[in-house]
Amino acid sequence: MINLEVPRKLIPLLHQTRGFAEEVMRPISRKYDRAEHSYPIELDLVSAVIDGLTDSGTGQGAGAAGATRSQDVPVEIAEIAGVAGVGAGRREPRANGNRNGTNLSSVLSVMETCRGDVGLALSIPRQGLGNAAIAAVANAEQKARYGRRWAAMAITEPDAGSDSGAIRTTAVKDGDDYVLNGEKIFVTAGERAELVVVWATLDRSLGKKAIKSFVVERSNPGFTLVRLEHKLGIRASDTASFHLDNCRVPARDLLGDPEISTETGFGGAMATFDNTRPLVAAMAVGLTRACLDTTTELLARAGVTVDWDRPPLSQSAAAARLAELEAEYQAAYLLMMRAAWMADNGRPNSMEASMAKAKAGRTCVDVALACVELGGPTGYAETELLEKWARDAKILDIFEGTQQIQLLVVARRLLGLTSAELK
Where in the sequence numbering do the catalytic residues fall?
A: 400
Checking phi first, is residue 285 left (phi over 0); if not, alpha (psi -120 to 50) or beta?
alpha
Helix or strand run (H / E) with residue 250: strand 239-250
Strand-pair category, 195-201 with 151-154: parallel
218 and 194 Cβ atoms separated by less than 8 Å: yes
Closest CA to 6 of 115, 113, 105: 105
Q: Which of 53, 403, 113 is nearest to 279 (CA)?
A: 113
Please answer whether residues 316 and 300 qualify as being in contact, where contact means their C-beta atoms are separated by less than 8 angstroms: no
Angstrom distances, CA of residue 113 to CA of 21, 178, 320: 5, 38, 28
**Which whole-number Å values give the CA distances from 204 to 177, 328, 422, in the listed order?**
19, 42, 21
Q: How many helices (H) and strands (E) does the chain have?
A: 12, 8
